[in-house]
A and B are shown apart, each in its own frame.
Chain A
Amino acid sequence: MSFLRIHAQPGRTAIWTLSWSLFAVGLILYFYAAQQRHRENPDDRVMPTIAQMVRGFSDAALKPAAEEEVQAASGSSLLARFRTSMLWTDTLASGRRFLISVALLFPAVLLGLHMAMFPVIGAFFLRFILFFDKIVALSLLPILFIAFGIDELSKIMLIVIGVTPTIILDTFNLTKSVPREQIVKGFTLGASDFSITYRIVFKQIWPRVLNSIRLNLKAVMLFLFAGEMIASTDGLAYRIALLRRHMGMDTIIPYVLWVALLLFLVDFAMNKLNHKLHPWFQER
């Protein structure tokens, strides 16, 4: 059993095999169960077979979303058909909301930084943010719909309210964790408060803040999906909620996997970019 010891050193092939094995087991179990159900009931819609899911996904990814585009799309290339498809229009709608929400996290980062650097700003905001952080964002959903209507604003506000306090407090703690020696050193080198805040502290915490945002991407998606499922006319979560009414599991499952894949790619790209831009940053 030496391979289970702390000092075990698995080779590259072993690591590759181990890291993919759970995916393989999951797929095998799913398709086995799906086959069994379909053998008992050929009309089963709870666990679609692989062929049904491929058909459902290709319909979503290659058939036009709107009736008027059917004529235009017929006979055109795969890419052109994808760009008029339900999947693409839903991805664009959710992606736009997602990007706006992530961009709105930047002021939260700046607030957290200033709260930690300047005691007066910290004293002014900290208690309020700590309290605000405890409010369950989803419980505010009815209030947001009443206050901002059921348009884009309420959905974006939900994400901002849900994730912003975490990002503020995370940035606050990251800033506080910068050793005091660094700040003193900055002063002794003639730096002003502004230079210390932005050229010493912010530059040091920025890769960690990006990591924190990365880890909160799932929360951003969670609030986005909650908003879209309740009040929207487009978006990935809207489509999943719509398909649920028709028991469209052959499209819901590929949609869920598509969302996971997109989030994984965003996370992967952010991680790679973070290390490319900050070669000194050693943490993963």
Chain B
Amino acid sequence: MLDTAIQIDNVHVDYPIAGQAARSVLDGISLQIESGEFVAIVGETGCGKSTLLRLILGEEKPTRGRLLVNGCERWQPDRHCGYVPQKYSLFPDKTVLDNVTFGPEVTAFGAWSGLRWIRPLQMRRFREEALRYLRHTGLDESDARKYPYQLSGGMQQRVAIAQALIMKPPILLMDEAFSALDPATRTGMQRLIKKLWRESGATVVFVTHNTREAVCLGTRVIALAKNGDENRGSSIALDLGVPDLDFDSEEIDIGKLVREVDRATVRERPLVYN
């Protein structure tokens, strides 16, 4: 039996607006994500996908309701959840290698991580591990000395994935991580993340506005729909179990699934498929 990685019970998020009624972004979302699942969250712009991700990260608190990650409430982001955002995913002042070793360094040395040169053996181990992760994500050693601005968007996201995975987080949160990439690079990155997910066994929550990407990647697709009432936020429109697809699979009509999810995201009333 699977453990519950993320438990969301009747979560509401309202943003106060001066002189007006609070604007609801999420309106009573309930959701359970099991360990090892690859959950894709899809929906139109402004429907609350990123808000839901920030709640899981611990970057935001729900106005009402309860959200547990590995059975605990979240107070702030920590290393139990890896994070790959769409932009600003790398530290611009650090080389690729330093970006990837940053996590292990601060974890091992704490506040004294600036004095890493006094522990050369441990640093060498971190560097070797970082290089292994970089190779795993399709980069080679010659890229390790480059700064982020010297890399293409796709390469930057590969580094960001290596940077997150080296911490071996039980949960990996990705916020429109491939949205800024060209179609060919995007497909390559989708295959890569799926492969890494299968190997690591981590729980992945992948936010995207691209329904096809959600259907191809997720073992489950959560579609958020905007509520008809302007002052009420999104509710889960569709919680659809999707077989673990290969990208070239012909067993399932991906187009049909995409259309089904798309239809659900524009419905006014919540639909729950089990």
Binding site for B on A (CB under 8 A): 179-182, 184-192, 194-195, 198-200, 203-204, 278-282
CB distance from B164 to the nearest CB of A (A): 7
Residue of A nearest to B92 (CB): A280
Contact of A188 among B78, B93, B149 (CB under 8 A): B78
Q: When chains A and B are docked, how far (Å) is the Cα of A180 from the Cα of B88?
A: 9
CB distance from A205 to the nearest CB of B (A): 10
* Pairwise interchain contact B93-A280, C-beta atoms closer than 8 A: yes
Residue of A nearest to B109 (CB): A195
CB distance from A184 to the nearest CB of B (A): 5
Residue of A nearest to B58 (CB): A187
CB distance from A272 to the nearest CB of B (A): 18
Q: When chains A and B are docked, how far (Å) is the Cα of A190 from the Cα of B126?
A: 15
Interface hit among B27-35, B100-108, B214-222: B100-108
CB distance from A284 to the nearest CB of B (A): 15
* Pairwise interchain contact B57-A188, C-beta atoms closer than 8 A: yes
* Pairwise interchain contact A188-B167, C-beta atoms closer than 8 A: yes
With A184-B59, A185-B85, A204-B93 already in contact, the answer to whether A199 and B113 are too (CB < 8 A) is yes
Residue of B nearest to A179 (CB): B88
Q: When chains A and B are docked, how far (Å) is the Cα of A182 from the Cα of B107?
A: 17
* Pairwise interchain contact A204-B88, C-beta atoms closer than 8 A: no
Q: Mark B56-84, 1 if CB is under 8 A from A, else 0.
A: 01010000000000000000111101110
CB distance from B148 to the nearest CB of A (A): 8
CB distance from A148 to the nearest CB of B (A): 37
* Pairwise interchain contact A280-B147, C-beta atoms closer than 8 A: yes
* Pairwise interchain contact B91-A182, C-beta atoms closer than 8 A: yes
Other A-B contacts than A184-B77, A189-B107, 19 sampled, CB-CB below 8 A, are: A180-B59, A181-B83, A181-B87, A182-B88, A184-B59, A185-B163, A188-B57, A188-B83, A188-B169, A190-B79, A190-B103, A190-B106, A199-B113, A199-B114, A204-B93, A280-B93, A280-B94, A280-B147, A280-B148
* Pairwise interchain contact B92-A184, C-beta atoms closer than 8 A: no
Residues on A with C-beta less than 8 A from B149 are 280, 282
* Pairwise interchain contact B103-A189, C-beta atoms closer than 8 A: yes
* Pairwise interchain contact A181-B89, C-beta atoms closer than 8 A: yes
- B110 contacts A by Cβ under 8 Å: yes
* Pairwise interchain contact A181-B167, C-beta atoms closer than 8 A: no
- B18 contacts A by Cβ under 8 Å: no
**Interface CB pairs A-B, < 8 A, 5:** A188-B83, A188-B169, A189-B106, A192-B110, A280-B92
- B111 contacts A by Cβ under 8 Å: yes
Q: When chains A and B are docked, how far (Å) is the Cα of A190 from the Cα of B77?
A: 9
CB distance from B128 to the nearest CB of A (A): 18
Residue of B nearest to A178 (CB): B88
* Pairwise interchain contact B77-A188, C-beta atoms closer than 8 A: yes
* Pairwise interchain contact A204-B167, C-beta atoms closer than 8 A: no
Residues on B with C-beta less than 8 A from A195 are 106, 110-111, 113
Q: When chains A and B are docked, how far (Å) is the Cα of A192 from the Cα of B109?
A: 11
Q: When chains A and B are docked, how far (Å) is the Cα of A181 from the Cα of B163?
A: 14
Residues on A with C-beta less than 8 A from B81 are 188
Residues on A with C-beta less than 8 A from B88 are 179, 181-182, 185
Q: When chains A and B are docked, how far (Å) is the Cα of A279 from the Cα of B147?
A: 9
Residue of B nearest to A198 (CB): B114
* Pairwise interchain contact B147-A188, C-beta atoms closer than 8 A: no
* Pairwise interchain contact B78-A187, C-beta atoms closer than 8 A: yes
Residues on A with C-beta less than 8 A from B76 are 187
Residues on A with C-beta less than 8 A from B164 are 188-189
Q: Which residues 10-68 of B sit at the A interface, judged by CB distance below 8 A?
A: 57, 59
* Pairwise interchain contact B85-A204, C-beta atoms closer than 8 A: no
* Pairwise interchain contact B103-A184, C-beta atoms closer than 8 A: no
Residue of B nearest to A195 (CB): B106
Q: Mark B97-140, 1 if CB is under 8 A from A, else 0.
A: 00000110011001101100000000000000000000000000
